[in-house]
Amino acid sequence: MIHNEKVRIGILGGGQLGAMLIRSAIDYGLDISVLDKDTNAPAARYTNSFVCGDPNNYEDVVAFGKQCDIVTIEKEAVNTEALRYLRDKGVKIHPSPELIATIQDKQDQKEFLKHHNIPVVPYVSITNKEELYNNASKLPACLKMRRNGYDGKGVMMLYSETDIENAFDGPAILEEKMNIKQEISLIVARGEDGAIECYEPTLMVFDPEKHLLDYQICPANLESEISNQAYEIAIKIAAEMSLVGIIAIEMFITDNDILLVNEIAPRPHNSGHHTIEACPTSQYEQLIRAITGFPLGDTRLNYKAGLVNLIETGKQLDLSAIVSKPTMHLHYYGKANSKIGRKIGHITITEENIDGVHAQIAAIKNILN
C-alpha cells in the first residue's frame, strides 16, 4: 500500500479507547477527527479536529462523517443508519454498520452466533418484567439488557423470584447460570484483504459484585485443545462477520471444559490494553492498519503481561510507588468528571514469567488499598 497521510479518519466516541487509538494513528501521520458529546472527553486533547456531537444522533454522525474518508468506532452506541448513509456516499465504514448493529443488540448477537454454529450460553428472550415472572422457574439466571449495557451496567443475577421485583423492566435476555471455571478474551483483527491475526487469549478475573474487570493476565495458559478451539471460534466469527478492523470476543470456560461465547465488542477492548507494551503491534495500531489497508502486524507476546484497572473511589491516588517500577506502566485517562466505581486508568505489567506478573498484581493491589 502507498502511504497517504491525507486520509481523514473519524472516530465515533472520545473515550480512553479513542485517545489510545489516536496516539497510534499519530505514528502513521494520519489526520484524526473525533465526535463526542463531551468536550472534556479523554480523546479531545489528542486532536485539533474535535467535534461536539452525539455519535448516536443521525444528523450529527452524517455531518461529521462527510468530512472523513474512513469512519471507525470506539464505542457501540452509535447511529448505524447514519453510517449506512455515509457508506452509500463513498465513506469507508469499518467495522461495517451491519456488524455494529448485530453486536449492539445482545439477542441479535446471540442469534447470529447460533446461526453460524458457534456455542453460546443458553438463554430466553424477555420483553418485560411480566415475562420474567413467567420464567421464574429458570432461576437462578443472569439477566442482561439487550442494548446499551457497559462495564457491568445492565447485568444482574437473579437467584429467586423475589429478586425480580428489583430487576430492570424492558427488553433483555435471561441466560442460564453456568458453572464457569474461567473467563477469557481473544482479540482478532481482519484486514480488507481477508488476512486475519489473533492475539493470545487473556484470562480475565472479575469483581463478582461490580461485574467489572478486576485484573487480567496474558497468556491465559489454557490447555492446547481449548486454546485451539478459541482461535477457531475467533477466526470464524471474524470471517462470517466480514470484519474489517478488530473485535474482542469474551468467552466462558465451564467446569466441564466447554467453551461458550459470552459477548463480542467491535472495537478496541480493555482486555487488549496490555498489547501496547507487551506486543510488537498493539490492538490500536492493528486497528489503524486494518482500516487503512496496511498489512496486519505481529501479535506475538514479547512479555508475559498483566493489567489492573484503576477505579474512581473519590480519594487521591499516590501512584509514585507504581511508576517507580520499570515493569509497571501507568495509563491515566484524564477523565474530567469520573463517577465513583468507573474506570479512570489502568496499570500494565510486563514480566519475563507469569509468577512475576502475579507478584506485581498483588503489589499493585496492596499499594492501591
Please give the single-letter amino acid code of residue 108: D
Q: Do the Cβ atoms of 322 and 364 come closer than 8 Å?
A: yes
Is residue 262 marked as binding?
A: yes
Please give the single-letter amino acid code of residue 281: T
Burial 254-293 (b: 16+ CB within 10 A, else e): eeeeebbbbbbbbbbbbbbbbbbbbbebbbbbbbbbbbbb
Is residue 263 marked as binding?
A: yes
Joined grid coordinates for residue 242 = 466480514
Q: Cell numbers 466469527 label which residue?
A: 237
Q: What whole-number distance in Å separates Cα of residue 9 and Cα of residue 4? A: 12
Compute CA distances 97 → 41, 85, 103, 121, 323, whole Å: 24, 10, 10, 25, 40
Q: Cell numbers 471460534 label which residue?
A: 233
Q: Do the Cβ atoms of 135 and 168 come closer than 8 Å?
A: no
Is residue 183 marked as binding?
A: yes
Of the candidates 221, 220, 268, the residue with the CA atom closest to the CA atom of residue 246: 268
For 242, residues 6+ apart whose C-beta sits below 8 A from its C-beta are 96, 99
SS (H, E, C) 211-276: CEEEEEEECCCCCHHHHHHHHHHHHHHHHHCCCCEEEEEEEEEECCCCEEEEEEECCCCHHHCCHH
- How many Cβ atoms from other residues are within 10 Å of residue 224's Cβ? 7
Q: At what angle do helices 283-292 and 16-27 cross, to 10 degrees?
A: 60
Q: What backbone torsions phi and psi does residue 43 show, to the nearest 5 degrees?
A: -75, -15
Q: Strands 343-351 and 259-265, how do they pair?
A: unpaired
Please give the single-letter amino acid code of residue 146: R
Please give the single-letter amino acid code of residue 137: S
Binding site residues for ATP, as ranges? 106, 144, 183, 262-263
Binding site residues, as ranges? 106, 144, 183, 262-263
